[in-house]
Amino acid sequence: MRIMGLFSLAMVLILTGPTLAQAPSVEPVGTMSQLMVDIILPTSDDIFYIGRTPPSNNAEWGAIQRSALMLAESGNLLMVGQLNTACVTCHQDYRPNYRRRQ
């Protein structure tokens, strides 16, 4: 439930940001760590491990569809403000071959 609350709040900020001409910028509500741990990792696990326990009814397929949507939209959240820079910096520090193609 907490994940959906964070996601809903982020979506409201993203969707209303462009329509509010007087708003100078969109400020992130959550941290990079919160996005990764609370939204991106759980939703990506739902997609990556679908073969282990395939959805068997419409409700389960709906949950997978919601996870896919959240995962896709989280890419937009990562591009807001300084979050993109934080992503690149973290990946460069903790992923040895980040952006190095052999």
- The DSSP line for 17-67 is TTT-TT---PPPSS-HHHIIIIIIHHHHHHHHTTTTS---SHHHHHHHHHH
Domain spans, the chain: 2-13+25-94
75 and 41 in contact (C-beta within 8 Å)?
no
Provide mean pLDDT across the span 42-71: 94
Integer angstrom CA distances of residue 76 from 22, 31, 58, 60, 83: 22, 14, 28, 25, 10
Of residues 2, 1, 9, the one with CA closest to residue 77? 9
Residue 21 pLDDT > 60, yes or no? no
Q: Which residues contact 84 (CB under 8 A, 6 or more apart)?
A: 78
* Whether 67 contacts 47, CB under 8 Å: yes
pLDDT recorded at residue 59: 96
- Give the tokens for residue 95: 């992923």
Average pLDDT, the chain: 78
pLDDT at 84 over 80: no
